[in-house]
Amino acid sequence: MTDELELLEKIRGNVIHGKCFKDEGESEHGISSEPANRELVVEALERGVHVKHILVYGLAAGMEEIGHKFEQGEYFIPDMLAAAEVVGETMELIEPYLNSKDNSLFKGKFVLATVEKDQHDIGKNMVGTMLKGAGFQVIDLGVDVPAEKIVEVVREEKPDFLGLSALLNTTMIYMKNTIKRLQEEKLRSEVWVFVGGAPTSPEFAKSIEADIYCEDAFEAITIADRLIGGRREAS
């Protein structure tokens, strides 16, 4: 058990320091040439550490600490991107071990999409990676996704959350169209709708009847955790 805890703590630390490969991050954050996350995760899997423990006590715990540092002004966007890269690389290793039908492995399910006629995906991709690292199941529909496709996936997958992204003023309208289609299909009450992206705002989210405006990935994680926690307490 001690060896497992030590491995998980090292994985958590490497997420915090953005260290995915062995030769990264040694000078800026004072990390020695300890194994980085790819080596550590492979070792953990070989030792039989439960993949949920890697997800929760390694990745999610590291992401929580990153969020605190970002809120306190200790970490900035480059640090977030470094952490996202580490989480992304780690998720590639552990996803084959995750049974997507076993909901006990995940806090909740997110569907993400950049709306119709918008090709921008950097922000969405970072949010998706962070959500995975925080223990959520993520279905990423990509960019330029029509409202009909989003509604179809919501109907089939029954996610807890739908995250809509737009980077252009001219494509924001498709967020409203998507929510309208959810209402028409009697699906709106079944999913929490998050919106984000440079041109969006709390006022815009309210005007299109979205549930949540998120400024960044950490806010999305914090709010999603709170909503899921409230649902479980209610049940």
CB-CB contact of 140 with 114 (8 Å): no
How many Å apart are CA 81 and CA 67, to the nearest integer?
12
Q: In CATH, what number does 103-234 get?
A: 3.40.50.280
176: tokens are 């409203």
The region of weakest confidence among 130-139, 159-168, 179-188, 207-216 is 130-139
Q: Quick one: average pLDDT of 110-137?
A: 92
Nearest to 210 by CA among 169, 165, 153: 165
Would you kindly state where each structural domain of the chain is located, as residue ranges?
2-97, 103-234
pTM: 0.79
2-97 fold: 1.10.1240
CB-CB contact of 172 with 142 (8 Å): no
End-to-end CA distance of the chain: 33
Query: Tens digits of per-residue pLDDT, 166-205?
Result: 999 999 999 999 999 999 999 999 999 999 999 999 999 9
Nearest to 182 by CA among 228, 150, 160: 150
